């Protein structure tokens, strides 16, 4: 990737500018983030009861007879707001109940609990223990803007299982479009008649009939339609598509938030050369349904999709398989990170977690300047055990004692997801960790100590917590603090942990939310006097939402500074840019075109020992050299990016620089590496190390 291309990628990632190279079919994993924003929707239900209303861990809502007359539930996912329904809209949800219950909603102009009633919907009667989809239409709301969504259950002592609440406004390009069935009962929905869209553009269609089509599709773009199906029955989905070179996997289609179809697009020979692709048969009741199209790959034009009544049986719903998962990204830096995949007890993870951690690129990869760790619903067998969810758990190959950790990240969402950025003592006796393989691992948990810099639970959307686990708390979460971040899953926030021998401080966006400073510091309360390593992961709790498909934790960077504010470890998660810079860096610090032990080697060694001024350059640079001291310092700083010769995650004078000096003095084979290769090194053979050094010669 060129430098200019890299800048464009950064702009797209950080400033939300969408570039649409129409002839490029870049495959990119669909991050099915179960979040809401002003553009897209998914699961809005993150309910907090008020007035005595109860919410259980299984999406079961109940208003007991002792509750106040105004008891109900407030949606706590603030990323939904503001809601504009100038042309009306629809609320859809799935629910079940033993018996029946009346459910209704209210939209309010002010954030809850500042009650300012604005619009009350009609009620709908939920019946039966089998989950069904329900919808409530909202008439035109003019210029009203809403900032609260309230749910009421009118029947007392009646537990209702309620999920997938979706608010879909009419309007945008959907306003004025006619979805009425034709004489044959076929419903044809023009692509430009979406209700909501993210990253989508339209253009004129050149063939007979004219109109518009959706074009310039990039992976992860989305479209949502609200379609009123008049009759219960089975319907076949069909799609009119075009693509210059073809696109696969294509579009994933979700009906009422359920993964229902996947269709790829053949190479039709042109952007206006249309073909109709046949899709699956789905069962729909007479109701308003949401149809969401998620682009799993780029290079697609969509003209329309249709629903054709049929007597054929409904097809089996698709599942996201490995064949569908293709990513436009690269593997993580294996010199810095280790995939922890071994089941600790041979069958499962701790805390009843139900995922497999994998080392596949589809579960953890770097693209567009960020790390993505993806939790996904998919059947996966490893170590003789089959599980229905996958994710990734990364150990840093770097450990440190005291310092400041800072990272910028967005959390995944979805009830049952449990992402974390945390730390363990590298002596933990857990055989699957990176450090256990390096000869460490003689202390059990919790005696080894645990530092949770950030934890987030999908069952408590928006709450960011930091915690310490010690022997004094018997491993329980007794020492903790946190705060709500409404945009935790939709926007990047900066998290930090500041650790010294006296206390540990946790902050979000520069605001402290918890400080751990026990008055008595001993092995029980303060195991934080040894080296710790970083862990990044998303766990899946056993009560994961049945509708969950996948979601990602996205990290922009992670950095560790020592107590002198010197950067001692970092990953900027920008493989392309880093590689471009690294390719340009060489050991030629003084810039004379060659690499010499008594000039460049000495300068690098002195830089490693933090010498400055005359102490840095004296006797190592010719008085006739045109290079300035400032340029030498800059060159040495650049060399730090390539100076981890043995690949153990840090630059050491007595290993990396010693190896370089030996090489420059023509040491070979065992003489090159003897006594200088770190026990935690990635590159351990003389041939590997020689090859690496030579790759950075001028």
CATH number at residue 110: 2.60.120.260
- Put residue 414 in one of left, alpha, beta given phi > 0 → left and psi -120 to 50 → alpha: left
Residues of the domain holding 249:
171-324
Q: How confident is the model at residue 481 (pLDDT cuts 50, 70, 90)?
A: very high
Q: Say if residue 616 is preceded by a cis peptide, omega within 30 of 0.
A: no
Does residue 565 register a pLDDT over 50?
yes
Encode pLDDT of 444-457 as tens digits: 999 999 999 999 99
Amino acid 123: pLDDT: 94
CB 318 within 8 A of CB 280: yes
Are residues 432 and 484 both part of a single domain? yes
CB 273 within 8 A of CB 336: no
CB 212 within 8 A of CB 20: no
Encode pLDDT of 365-421 as tens digits: 998 889 999 999 988 888 888 899 999 999 999 999 999 999 999 999 999 999 999
Average pLDDT over residues 610-634: 75
Taking alpha carbons only, the member of 411, 430, 429 closest to residue 372 is 411
- With a pLDDT cut of 90, the percent of the chain lying above it is 40
- With a pLDDT cut of 70, the percent of the chain lying above it is 87
Of 203-217, 222-236, 604-618, the range with the highest mean pLDDT is 222-236
Domain membership of residue 7 (yes or no) is no
Domain membership of residue 373 (yes or no) is yes
CB atoms within 10 A of CB 533: 23
Task: Specify which residues 253 forms β-bridges with.
Answer: 261, 293
Amino acid 16: pLDDT: 31
Q: How confident is the model at residue 653 (pLDDT cuts 50, 70, 90)?
A: confident
Are residues 91 and 221 both part of a single domain? no
Q: Kindly give, in sequence order, each residue whose CB lies less than 8 Å from that of residue 608, ignoring residues fewer than 6 positions away.
A: 643, 651, 652, 653, 656, 657
Alpha-carbon distances of 300 from 68, 241, 296, 665, rounded to whole Å: 53, 7, 10, 58
Asked which of 324, 349, 382 is the last residue of a domain, the reply is 324
Amino acid 383: pLDDT: 85
Are residues 214 and 347 both part of a single domain? no
Q: How confident is the model at residue 80 (pLDDT cuts 50, 70, 90)?
A: low
- Provide the pairing of β-strand 355-357 with 385-391: parallel
- Residue 630 exposed, middle or buried by CB count within 10 Å (0-12, 13-18, 19+): exposed
Amino acid 182: pLDDT: 87
Are residues 218 and 258 both part of a single domain? yes
Taking alpha carbons only, the member of 217, 162, 255 closest to residue 549 is 255
Domain membership of residue 403 (yes or no) is yes
Are residues 258 and 301 both part of a single domain? yes
Asked which of 279, 297, 324 is the last residue of a domain, the reply is 324
Amino acid 654: pLDDT: 85
Of 268-277, 282-291, 461-470, the range with the highest mean pLDDT is 461-470
Please indicate whether residue 636 or residue 72 has the higher confidence score (pLDDT).
72
Of 163-177, 475-489, 592-606, the range with the highest mean pLDDT is 475-489
Domain membership of residue 3 (yes or no) is no
- Tokens found for residue 529: 């006097």
First to last CA, the chain: 21
- Residue 554 exposed, middle or buried by CB count within 10 Å (0-12, 13-18, 19+): buried
CB 267 within 8 A of CB 244: yes
Catalytic residues: 450, 455
CATH number at residue 538: 2.60.120.200
Are residues 154 and 190 both part of a single domain? no
Does residue 501 register a pLDDT over 50?
yes
Asked which of 324, 346, 376 is the last residue of a domain, the reply is 324
Number of H helices, E strands in the chain: 8, 41
Amino acid 624: pLDDT: 60
Encode pLDDT of 530-551 as tens digits: 999 999 999 999 999 888 988 9
- Residue 584 exposed, middle or buried by CB count within 10 Å (0-12, 13-18, 19+): exposed
The SS3 of residue 570 is strand
Does residue 165 register a pLDDT over 80?
yes
Are residues 429 and 512 both part of a single domain? yes
Distance between CA atoms of residues 684 and 296, nearest Å: 40
Distance between CA atoms of residues 33 and 254, nearest Å: 13
- Residue 615 exposed, middle or buried by CB count within 10 Å (0-12, 13-18, 19+): exposed
CB 400 within 8 A of CB 520: no
- Tokens found for residue 364: 């953890």
Amino acid 242: pLDDT: 92
105 phi, psi to nearest 5 deg: -130, 165
Does residue 235 register a pLDDT over 70?
yes
Q: Kindly give, in sequence order, each residue whose CB lies less than 8 Å from that of residue 599, ignoring residues fewer than 6 positions away.
A: 589, 590, 592, 620, 621
Does residue 238 register a pLDDT over 50?
yes
80 phi, psi to nearest 5 deg: -70, -30
Amino acid 31: pLDDT: 23
Q: How many residues does the chain have?
A: 698
The SS3 of residue 364 is strand
Please indicate whether residue 118 or residue 458 has the higher confidence score (pLDDT).
458
Amino acid 524: pLDDT: 94
Amino acid 633: pLDDT: 80
Does residue 578 register a pLDDT over 70?
no
Distance between CA atoms of residues 168 and 606, nearest Å: 63
Are residues 401 and 467 both part of a single domain? yes
Taking alpha carbons only, the member of 643, 588, 652 closest to residue 621 is 588
Are residues 188 and 286 both part of a single domain? yes
Report the chain's mean pLDDT, rounded to a whole number: 83
CB 397 within 8 A of CB 337: yes
For the chain, how many structural domains are there in total? 4
Average pLDDT over residues 334-340: 91
Taking alpha carbons only, the member of 298, 453, 410, 434 closest to residue 33 is 410
Stretch among 213-227, 573-587, 597-611 having the lowest mean pLDDT: 573-587
Distance between CA atoms of residues 537 and 552, nearest Å: 10
CB 306 within 8 A of CB 284: no
Domain membership of residue 5 (yes or no) is no
Does residue 558 register a pLDDT over 90?
yes
Across 355-416, the runs of DSSP E, i.e. the strands, are 355-357, 364-367, 370-382, 385-391, 393-400, 403-410
Domain membership of residue 103 (yes or no) is yes
Domain membership of residue 412 (yes or no) is yes
Amino acid 444: pLDDT: 93
Are residues 497 and 553 both part of a single domain? yes
Are residues 398 and 526 both part of a single domain? yes
Amino acid 236: pLDDT: 96
CB 365 within 8 A of CB 327: yes
Amino acid 42: pLDDT: 37
Q: Give the distance, in angstroms, between the CA of residue 70 and the centroid of all CA atoms in the same chain.
A: 38
Are residues 277 and 344 both part of a single domain? no
Does residue 438 register a pLDDT over 70?
yes
If you write DSSP's letter for every residue of 425-487 in order, what string do you get? ETTB--TTSTGGGGT---B-TTTT-EEEEEEE-GGGTTEEEEEEE-GGGTTSS-EEEEEE-TT
Amino acid 623: pLDDT: 61
The SS3 of residue 296 is coil
Domain membership of residue 533 (yes or no) is yes
Amino acid 237: pLDDT: 96
């Amino acid at each position: 990737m060129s430098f200019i291309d890299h800048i464009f990628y950064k702009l797209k990632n950080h400033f939300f500018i969408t570039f649409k190279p129409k002839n490029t079919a870049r495959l990119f994993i669909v991050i099915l983030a179960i979040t809401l924003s002003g553009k897209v929707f998914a699961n809005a239900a993150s309910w907090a009861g008020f007035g005595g209303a109860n919410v259980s861990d299984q999406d079961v809502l109940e208003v007991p007879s002792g509750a106040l007359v105004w008891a109900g539930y407030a949606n706590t996912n603030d990323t939904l707001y503001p809601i504009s329904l100038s042309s009306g809209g629809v609320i859809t949800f799935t629910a079940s109940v033993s018996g029946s219950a009346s459910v209704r909603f209210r939209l309010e102009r002010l954030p809850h609990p500042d009650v300012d009633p604005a619009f009350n919907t009609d009620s709908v009667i939920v019946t039966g223990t089998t989950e069904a989809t329900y919808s409530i239409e909202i008439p035109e709301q003019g210029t009203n803007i809403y900032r609260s969504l309230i749910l009421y259950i009118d029947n007392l002592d009646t537990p209702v299982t309620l999920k997938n609440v979706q608010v879909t406004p009419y309007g945008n390009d959907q306003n004025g479009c006619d979805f009425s069935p034709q004489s044959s009962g076929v419903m044809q929905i023009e692509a430009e008649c979406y209700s909501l869209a993210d990253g989508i553009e339209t253009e004129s269609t050149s063939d007979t009939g004219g109109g518009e089509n959706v074009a310039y599709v990039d992976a992860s773009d989305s479209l949502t339609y609200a379609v009123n199906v008049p009759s219960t029955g089975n319907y076949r989905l069909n799609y009119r598509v075009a693509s210059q070179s073809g696109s696969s996997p294509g579009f994933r289609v979700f009906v009422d938030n359920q993964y229902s179809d996947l269709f790829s697009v053949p190479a039709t020979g042109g952007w206006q050369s249309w073909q109709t692709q046949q899709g699956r048969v789905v069962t729909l009741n007479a109701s308003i349904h949401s149809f969401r199209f998620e682009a799993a790959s780029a290079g697609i034009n969509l003209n329309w999709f249709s629903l054709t009544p049929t007597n054929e049986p409904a097809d089996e719903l698709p599942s996201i398989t490995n064949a569908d998962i293709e990513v436009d990204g690269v593997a993580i830096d294996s010199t810095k990170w280790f995939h922890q995949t071994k089941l600790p007890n041979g069958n499962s993870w701790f805390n009843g977690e139900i995922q497999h951690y994998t080392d596949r690129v589809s579960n953890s990869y770097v693209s567009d300047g960020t790390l993505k760790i993806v939790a996904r619903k998919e059947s996966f067998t490893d170590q003789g055990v089959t599980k229905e969810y996958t994710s990734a758990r990364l150990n840093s190959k770097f450990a440190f004692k005291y310092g400041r950790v800072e990272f910028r990240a967005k959390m995944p969402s979805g009830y049952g997801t449990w992402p974390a950025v945390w730390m363990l003592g590298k002596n933990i006796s857990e055989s699957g960790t990176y450090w256990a393989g390096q000869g460490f691992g003689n202390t059990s948990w919790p005696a080894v100590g645990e530092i949770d810099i950030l934890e987030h639970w999908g069952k408590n959307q928006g709450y960011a917590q930091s915690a310490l686990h010690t022997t004094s708390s018997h491993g329980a979460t007794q020492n903790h603090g946190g705060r709500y971040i409404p945009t935790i899953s939709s926007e990047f926030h900066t998290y930090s942990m500041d650790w010294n021998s006296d206390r540990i401080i946790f902050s979000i966006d520069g605001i402290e939310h918890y400080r751990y400073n026990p008055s008595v510091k001993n092995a029980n309360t303060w195991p934080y006097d040894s080296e710790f390593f970083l862990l990044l992961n998303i766990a899946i709790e056993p009560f994961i939402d049945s509708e969950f498909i996948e979601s990602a934790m996205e990290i922009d960077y992670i950095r560790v500074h020592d107590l002198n504010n010197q950067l001692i470890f970092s990953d900027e998660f920008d493989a392309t840019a880093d590689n471009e810079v690294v390719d340009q860096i060489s050991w030629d610090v003084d810039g004379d075109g060659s690499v010499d032990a008594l000039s460049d080697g000495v300068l690098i060694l002195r830089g490693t020992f933090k010498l400055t001024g005359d102490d840095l350059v004296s006797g190592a640079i010719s008085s006739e050299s045109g290079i300035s001291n400032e340029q030498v310092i800059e060159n040495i700083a650049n060399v730090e990016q390539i100076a981890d010769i043995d690949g153990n995650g840090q630059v050491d004078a007595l290993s990396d620089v010693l190896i370089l000096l030996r090489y420059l003095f023509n040491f070979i084979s065992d003489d090159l590496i003897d006594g200088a290769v770190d026990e935690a090194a990635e590159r351990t053979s003389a041939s590997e190390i020689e090859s690496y050094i030579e790759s950075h010669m001028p």
